[in-house]
Amino acid sequence: MAPMPSRTHKKILEVGKLPDLVILDQNPLKEDPMSIIDSPIQRTMVGGKWSYES
């Protein structure tokens, strides 16, 4: 498993910047961390544009 990026590598969402994000069908904060990989992806946004919708 790759190490987590340091704080300096985290992206910031603010006015004028484009988000990259994934919407899952369940809340990953309330699920077993090992089951997140099995969560179906509902939508994906890359560069501020929806690139995938289920």
**pLDDT digit string, tens, across residues 1-54:** 555 555 555 666 677 777 788 999 999 899 998 988 888 999 999 888 899 998
pLDDT score at 42: 94
With respect to residue 36, please indicate whether it lies within any of the assigned structural domains. Answer: yes
- Examine residue 39 and state whether it is found in any structural domain, yes or no: yes
Q: Which domain does 40 fall in, by range?
A: 7-53
Q: Which pLDDT does position 48 carry in this prediction?
A: 83
Rounded Cα distance, 16 and 1, in Å: 33
Whether the model clears a pTM of 0.85, i.e. scores above it, the answer is no
Total structural domains within the chain: 1
State the Cα–Cα distance between residues 28 and 34, nearest whole angstrom.
10
Give the per-residue pLDDT at 47: 83
pLDDT of res. 3: 57
